[in-house]
Structure 1
Amino acid sequence: MTEKQSRAENTRGERVKTHEDTLLKKIQQEKMRESLDSLGNKDDNREHYEDMLLEKLMTNLTGSESSIAYQPSDRPEMLMITSAVELTDDEKEAIVRKFMEKTNKTLRRITTVVDSNLITGIRLQSESFYYEVSGQKTLRELRRHLDRNWRY
């Protein structure tokens, strides 16, 4: 690989990482906005509302509550999205949103990888979650089934 190709590949990798970081920040800001909107009724008790708002903001900024022990299951996770083909920005965003909705996990980093060995499909991996729907997995399962049930 020439030096020019190497620089071009590094630049492309940096652009992808920057986009993933921007996507994650956008989703986190939307979640913060939603949680602030859900606090709602500030007319009931203004002082109580402001205390709750401040606590909510600090929790979102620091990622933990000072009065409640920080539990490992609540900590932000890294998500690796592996697909057979390169995903568009909209596809990445839809996958990340669905992951966060289904698992109730917050993310600290998103990494996307293109792996043609999957043949088709996608694999999602985090520290506490694994999901794969790919041609490679289907072929593995078929092979396992044939090995168990067929006599040569």
Structure 2
Amino acid sequence: MRLAIFNSYSPLKLLAVAETRFASTIIMLKRLFQVKQNLRNMVISEEWMSYREDDVGKAQTVRDFVLNDLWWDKVAYILRFTGPIYEMLRVADTDAPILHKVYEMWDSIIENVKKEIYRHEGKEDYEESPFYDVVRNILIERWTKNCTPLHCLAHSLNPK
């Protein structure tokens, strides 16, 4: 019943997390953010009130989240700081020859992630951010694990 109500308010469908694709949680959050207004319209509708009688606890929890601006701000923040990572993964997930670009992309990812986190936290570049330190360490660890001399060679041979 919930899905039927949602479908009557939104032309876009909700996406489920799929284990077979990278960044499926990010993709799901992007879609959730795209249908934000549709979800809000749904939970204040008469149809939602009739569903609510079926399971008051779940319906109220969903309504509280969907109408909570602070929760949506957190979703937007997650999408902003994971955006550079997601975009790099999309670029790398191709059959085109892009090995020479990967080396350079990692540096820009780290800088762009830092920029978003620091902007959100209201910090200057010289200040410390425990959250950024954790994210940066994860990114560096991943790069160290995947970086091969071939990446360096491809980057150094790139005429750009």
Q: TM-score, normalised by structure 2?
A: 0.24
- Larger Rg over CA atoms: 1
Higher helix share: 2
Which structure features the higher share of strand residues? 1
Q: TM-score, normalised by structure 1?
A: 0.25
